[in-house]
Chains A and B, each alone.
Chain A
């Protein structure tokens, strides 16, 4: 088990390889489809951020440098005016494949966390910008919620809805496995190739 603290450095990331299990501690953001679309369209296409979005942009720019995005739409509950994560496993990452390389490059992200793996564009961005894809265990919502020590803030909740909002969380020993590293290796591509060959055999 490798302990990883956020913000992470390029050296931290280059040391990781496919198959490593990690425990992540620090501040990260949840982001799903609406958040990714928003980031790419508002911030990553080269134009200055729209005036109304400048404040959130500055926050994200500061927090995501060396940081982590978690593909997750949590179940949340408000207790005495404070938000709490009740169940918070990963969602399918493949849906963000069209956005992630822009986001990694623009914000200098180091960790993308989700489930199911991502495609060649993200793998290439991980190589070029020293980032890794971490696989959390899909469906393990209650267990992962226990590693969320604090909900620091939430942005865009009213606009995107609770599952799609940016939740800024502080995690302690968040469990995950490296399945795409910064050296061009992807466990997902390897398993797909093997299973493709086996399928051909079974259908011969």
Chain B
């Protein structure tokens, strides 16, 4: 079938992602507030965060002024044009930037010039994959620069952390990453972790985990147990919201396990800030739905 024009639907997807925090994320923030001592800086930070979430939703203004790098995963049915989808998504980004749903975030590293419209070489990040379904799905993540800067990759074994090529090694480097991030990734954060892959795939899969619903654990029992353990132990570090000290440092850990080369063992930790802005658009027989 011919690819429909979804530009305005994409603008709405971007608006929703930038201004309307997903329900499961907000719920996790509310729960974490209960754990912080009344009157503590951590509690007050979470109060401010939740108040801000409500204001942004009500006024349709960006939750955070750093509207991040747009990362979009497209799954499309047979016969669709990815060239057209790409052009439509870029046009939507320009329009959303004009409407102040997005800050212009595409900067030439050499000249320092900002393109002004969020479209530039290598940005937005778009992944396209054909699937067997008869509908289109677009998952969008707006990933801020602060939390991207504290995201990191380890090559195991790591002698300094005594991290070998096993799940215990993964635990050790993941906790090290959370420690090193302190409050700089806008804690409390979310960890998307990849174990395996080449360096590029490892980052790709780590970020892909951030699209999982927060209650979706790994189908593999030992990996699922590790996800829970990393979250629990990261919270024992006491870094707390904004790094003010407190009970909640990480709200969820989700791990993907792509196959690796025999010689390599990469562990990638994609740190997502509390403003975990992800939304999904589906287009099915002409009907658009955004969740």
Question: Hey, which bits of chain A sit against chain B, CB under 8 A?
Answer: 19, 21, 34, 72-77, 86-89, 91-92, 94, 115-117, 135, 137-146, 160-164, 175, 177, 179, 187-188, 190-192, 194-196, 198-199, 202-203
B104 near A163: Cβ-Cβ < 8 Å: yes
The reply to whether B65 and A191 form a contact with Cβ atoms under 8 Å apart is no
Q: Main SS of chain A's interface residues?
A: mixed
Q: Smallest CB–CB gap between B39 and chain A, Å?
A: 10
In whole angstroms, what is the CA distance A73 to B184 when docked? 16
A89-B65, A91-B66, A198-B236 are known contacts. Are A139 and B175 too (CB-CB below 8 A)?
A: no
Query: Complex Cα distance A105/B41, Å?
Result: 29
For chain B, the bracket of interface size reads 35 or more
With A92-B149, A187-B41 known, 11 other A-B pairs at CB within 8 A are: A86-B65, A92-B184, A115-B146, A137-B242, A139-B49, A139-B273, A141-B64, A145-B65, A146-B55, A195-B237, A199-B237
Contact, CB under 8 Å: A145 / B61: yes
CB contacts (< 8 Å) of B240 on chain A: these are 191
Q: Are B237 and A94 in contact (CB under 8 A)?
A: no
| A91 partner, pick from B41, B61, B146, beta carbons under 8 A | B146
Instruction: Label chain B's interface by main secondary structure.
Output: loop
- Contact residue among A72, A143, A162 (Cβ-Cβ distance under 8 Å from B114): A162
Out of A21, A87, A135, A161, name the residue touching B65 (CB < 8 Å): A87
Min distance, Cβ A133 to any Cβ of chain B, angstroms: 13
Instruction: Using CB atoms and an 8 Å cutoff, list the residues of chain B in contact with chain A.
Output: 41, 44-45, 48-49, 51-52, 55-56, 59, 61-67, 100, 102-105, 107, 112-114, 116, 144-146, 149, 161-162, 172, 175-176, 179, 182-184, 186, 233, 236-240, 242-245, 273-275
> With contacts A74-B65, A74-B103, A116-B146 known, is A160 near B112, CB below 8 A?
yes
Instruction: Please tell me if the beta carbons of A142 and B243 are within 8 angstroms of each other in the complex.
Output: no
27 contacts between A and B (CB under 8 A): A73-B65, A73-B103, A75-B103, A76-B100, A116-B146, A116-B184, A135-B244, A137-B48, A138-B242, A139-B64, A139-B274, A141-B52, A141-B62, A142-B52, A142-B55, A142-B62, A143-B55, A144-B52, A145-B61, A161-B113, A162-B114, A164-B114, A188-B182, A191-B182, A195-B237, A198-B237, A199-B176
> B179, A143: Cβ atoms under 8 Å?
no
Assess whether B62 is in contact with A86, with CB atoms less than 8 Å apart: yes
Within the complex, the shortest CB–CB distance from B139 to chain A, in Å, comes to 21
* Beta-carbon nearest neighbor of A142 in chain B: B56
- A195 and chain B: residue at smallest CB distance: B237
For residue A33, which residue of chain B has the nearest CB? B112
A87–B61 contact, CB under 8 A? yes
For B242, what are the chain A residues with a Cβ–Cβ distance below 8 Å? 115, 135, 137-138
Residue in contact with B66 in the complex, picked from A34, A73, A177, A187, CB distance below 8 Å: A73
Q: In the complex the two chains form, what is the Cα distance from A128 to B126 in whole Å?
A: 49
Contact A142 B61 (CB under 8 A): yes
Choose one: B56, B113, B239; the contact of A141 (CB below 8 Å).
B56
